[in-house]
């Protein structure tokens, strides 16, 4: 718990401790682990199962305090949903959707005190208040919340969001693959692999590294 508290915003530790120690999470409680950076997710939850009596939550170590708290509450809501709707579910009953109305209700319930008590900066509180109207599966799908939380990340002058790059400009993702940015389609951009011309849909908020266009870039040809 001491490790977790070190990642939380000032003034929120007591509330988080109460949540994690609450009876609603069952007798076995919750095991929280801080892990290395993952590109595909900020955190996850696993309910009790064979060989594991407690809920297990993992969180990325590189999250700023406000993103850490938001992600932790997101995963605690999964644990609460599991306890209320999955633990005693009959064998052949329909499974609860991971981010269905039950999860939305739990997440909204435990997020509301943070918003109401104004425990976070004004811009983050306002973004969370808007997000509360319809919580989504991933906080990274809500542009307003992503932008508000990102203001408190450690600055990285080499990386920008895809939406900040001019159309037709080149960029690299982790691993070194280079793409050319195309037009926007809803929340994603049509982007083309500079080597193969294959088309990919890349989220507007994805962080990438701008670079000079590869002279050998091929003509865009298809979606992958």
pTM to 2 decimal places: 0.79
- 36-95, pLDDT tens digit by residue? 988 778 899 998 888 888 999 999 999 999 999 999 999 999 999 999 887 777 665 677
Long-range CB pairs of 210-218 (<8 Å, 24+ gap) are: 210/160, 210/165, 210/169, 210/170, 210/171, 211/170, 211/171, 211/172, 211/178, 212/170, 213/169, 213/170, 213/180, 214/170, 214/178, 217/170, 217/178, 217/180, 218/194
- 92-143, pLDDT tens digit by residue? 567 778 788 999 999 999 999 999 999 999 999 999 999 888 776 666 667 8
């Amino acid at each position: 718990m001491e490790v977790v508290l070190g990642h939380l915003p000032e003034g929120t530790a007591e509330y988080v401790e109460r949540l994690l120690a609450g009876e609603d999470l069952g007798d076995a409680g919750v095991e929280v682990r801080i892990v290395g950076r993952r590109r595909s997710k900020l955190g996850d939850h696993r309910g009790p199962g064979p060989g594991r009596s407690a809920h297990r939550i993992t969180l990325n170590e590189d999250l700023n305090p406000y993103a850490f708290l938001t992600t932790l509450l997101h995963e605690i809501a999964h644990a609460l949903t599991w306890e209320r709707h999955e633990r005693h579910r009959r064998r052949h009953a329909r499974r609860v959707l991971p981010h269905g109305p039950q999860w939305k209700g739990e997440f909204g319930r435990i997020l509301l005190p943070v918003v109401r008590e104004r425990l976070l900066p004004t811009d983050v509180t306002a973004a969370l208040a808007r997000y509360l109207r319809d919580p989504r599966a991933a906080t990274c799908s809500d542009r307003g919340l992503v932008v508000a939380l990102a203001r408190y990340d450690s600055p990285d002058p080499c990386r920008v969001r895809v939406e900040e790059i001019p159309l037709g400009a080149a960029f690299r993702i982790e691993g070194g693959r280079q793409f050319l940015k195309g037009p926007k389609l809803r929340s994603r951009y049509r982007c083309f692999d500079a080597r193969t011309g294959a088309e990919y849909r890349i989220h507007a908020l994805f962080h990438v590294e701008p670079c000079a266009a590869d002279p050998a870039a091929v003509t865009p040809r298809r979606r992958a």
